Structures are given as C-alpha cells and as structure tokens.
Amino acid sequence: MSKRIVIALGGNALGTNLPEQMAAVQITARAIVDLIADGHKVVICHGNGPQVGMIQNAMTELTRSDPEKYIPCPLSVCVAMSQGYIGYDLQNALREEMLNRGINKGAATVLTQVEVDPNDPAFLNPTKPIGSFMTEAEARRMERERDYRVVEDAGRGWRRVVASPEPKAIIEIDTIRSLVNTDHVVVACGGGGIPVFPTGRNHLKGAAAVIDKDFAAAVLAKQLDADMLIILTAVEKVAIHFGRPDQQWLDRLTPEDARRYIEAGEFAPGSMLPKVEAALSFVESKPGRQALITLLEKAREGIEGRTGTRIVS
C-alpha cells in the first residue's frame, strides 16, 4: 500500500567534500526512487554534520585571514548554506533518476527553519558532533586555538560538539505539506533545520546550534501525518550488546523494550541512541504509526518487512 514516508538520511552518507557528495547522491537517489516507483510519497530530511563543520571552518579561516573584510559567520547561517548545497545535489540526482525511469514528478528543496526554545538546557551542554574526525592531538589543539568543545565519538575519532536543542515545530510546514499533496518529492529540514526562536514582532532569530536530524525528521513526520519514519544508518538493524560477543540484532522493538534498552545504556549517545529515541517519539504520537531503522540500500526491503528494525506500538 502507498505510504507517506519521511526519510532521515545521515550526513555522513553524503560524503565529506563536493566530489564525494556528487557521487554519493547518485546512489542515494536510486534507493529513494525505488520507493517512489512503488507509489510512496517521500520527504527527505538529511544530516549535515561533516558539511556544516567544513563550512564553518572555511568561514573561520577567511575571518582570520582578513578580519576587516570578513565577519564571523553564525552557525545558523552555516546550517542554511549546508541545506542549500546538499539540497541542490540531492534534488537534481532525484530528478535525473526519476526521469530515467519515466517518473514525471517534481523534486524541490525547502530551506527550512525549525523552532527551538532559547532556554533549552542543551545550550549549556553541547553534545552534537559536527565536522570531520580528528585524532586526540588535533582535537586538543582545536580546544586551545579555537575554544572548541571536543569529544571522542563512538570509537571513530574525536569531533567538535555544539549545542543540539530539541526541535519544537517546523516553520515552513504548510509549504512542505502543499508540495507533498501535489505529488512533489521534497527535501526539507536539511541538517535538522535552521534553529530559530521568535523574538517578538514575528521576527525569527537564528540560534548557535545544530539540531539532530533524526529528531527533526520525527517532528516533520508528525506534522505531515506520515505513516512511517525511516531512519537510515550504517547498520542493517539495531543491536543490543553492540560490538560484544553476545551482540544481538533486533527485528522488532516495542516502546517498552526500547525504553528498557535505553535505560540500560544499550545505545551509544550521538550514534544509535537519538535514532531509537526519535523513532519512539514518532511511533507513540499516534496509533498505527511505524518507524524503521536500517541501511539505505535495504529501505525497500525494510518497508516490506524483510529486514531492518521495525519500531511499532
């Protein structure tokens, strides 16, 4: 049956530079257009961790090289830049793949703002990794030279962390809904959305943060009344005891099981934990909603119930 699906696509799946990204979106587009060919309405929310870090590093270097000519670039503006250039490649790859298969649909990127609470405690405790992986020595140097907060990221290296407040609402939701209702493929909430908060007189002010794209995708899916949230990651299924001899892959998770595993510390922060929490949030928001966590190339099989971890109430 045709479903309205929101897909959360990891920023690391898009490469760390422009040539890598242009190659990666071709693979991504083929997997997504498989779902479109099956009759599903698809909205894509992508990450931007490597890309937004690259953009801010480049802008910082410009400012340092000529501080009279270049002014510091706010993190919210860097998020907007990442939305634009990732969306540009992604929507073009989707359009090309659809036309190659005789599918006549429009693809559009919506520059999306997401409301956050300026008093969110996340602003006092940065946890969201951005930018490229570093050695510990490189990370410590960034601490000294640029006053970065750095952490070790799930055994993969060291990364800068920034604030990651909870998304409250999608500002451009009416525009996104109109495009979906007219059978467009939409790229929205890129990088988790541009974090903003109201300041009076209808003005929205950008916040120095990067919203987790999985949580933003869950909010987007709720507001669009989607049937399914698909969170794509680097493994085919969710596991408990991950990386240990007694590792166990999970085909199905109930909310009760998910909470029990979360409390037991089974899922790594900054890695699988936000994915499970976002899926849980969506599934519990309305009866009949389902979430799926799996690999990009397994999304079609996951929808058919043949692989992945399905979260159901």
Q: Active site residue: 10, 87, 128, 270, which one? A: 128
Q: Could you read off the pLDDT of 218-234 as tens digits, one per residue?
A: 999 999 999 999 999 98
CB atoms inside a 10 Å sphere around CB 78: 27
Whether residue 201 contacts residue 263, with contact meaning beta carbons closer than 8 Å, is answered with no
Instruction: Evaluate if residue 11 carries a pLDDT over 70.
Output: no
Averaged pLDDT for residues 176-188: 97
Among residues 225, 253, 231, the alpha carbon closest in space to that of 240 is found at: 253
Structure tokens at 257: 């099981």
Among residues 212, 209, 161, 206, the alpha carbon closest in space to that of 191 is found at: 212
Q: Is 11 a catalytic residue?
A: yes
Whether residue 292 contacts residue 231, with contact meaning beta carbons closer than 8 Å, is answered with yes
Q: Active site residue: 41, 222, 275, 298, which one? A: 275
Domains of the chain and any CATH numbers: 4-47+81-113+169-312 (3.40.1160.10)
The predicted structure's pLDDT at residue 54: 83
The predicted structure's pLDDT at residue 20: 87
Q: How far apart are CA 90 and CA 84, in angstroms?
A: 10
The predicted structure's pLDDT at residue 12: 62
Q: Is 69 a catalytic residue?
A: no
Beta strand residue intervals within 105-209, DSSP E: 107-109, 113-115, 128-134, 149-152, 158-162, 169-170, 185-187, 194-198, 204-206
Q: Active site residue: 12, 57, 106, 157, which one? A: 12
Q: Active site residue: 10, 11, 47, 192, which one? A: 11
Q: Could you read off the pLDDT of 188-225 as tens digits, one per residue?
A: 999 999 999 999 889 999 998 999 999 999 999 999 99
Mapping DSSP to helix (H, G, I), strand (E, B) and coil, where does residue 186 land? Answer: strand
pTM, two decimals, is 0.89
Quickly state the pLDDT bin for 68 (edges 50, 70, 90). Answer: confident
Whether residue 173 contacts residue 167, with contact meaning beta carbons closer than 8 Å, is answered with no
Instruction: Evaluate if residue 132 carries a pLDDT over 80.
Output: no
